[in-house]
Amino acid sequence: MRQYITQQGNKLDMGKSRVPTTVTNAVSWRSEGIKHKKNEVFIDVIESVNILVNSNGSVLRSEIVGSVKLKVFLTGMPELRLGLNDRVLFELSGREFWGD
């Protein structure tokens, strides 16, 4: 029985080459080719108010615990800028609040 030394090679397929992620700003946590019928962003603000009051009605301790949750349906990798305004903060500082 004869044995021959063989070598297997790998051929680079130039049709499937990828551009480095530093050039494209691609991220590992977002798949390529995501498409939605509508570009939508849903924002849920969840707050809980905790108050400790003594028998005289004086507030001993109070806190607001909250979170902001986003559900995003955006095609591709668009830049999204969100601005959250506080009506009370605007009114206290004397600035005009333009949203309703």
Look up the pTM and report it.
Answer: 0.46
Q: What is the pLDDT of residues 27-43, one digit of tens each?
A: 666 777 778 889 899 99
Q: What is the pLDDT of residues 48-72, one digit of tens each?
A: 999 999 999 999 999 999 998 989 8
Q: Length of the chain in residues, anyone?
A: 100
**Closest by Cα among 45, 49, 77, 46 to 62:** 49
Label the pairing between strands 59-73 and 40-53.
antiparallel
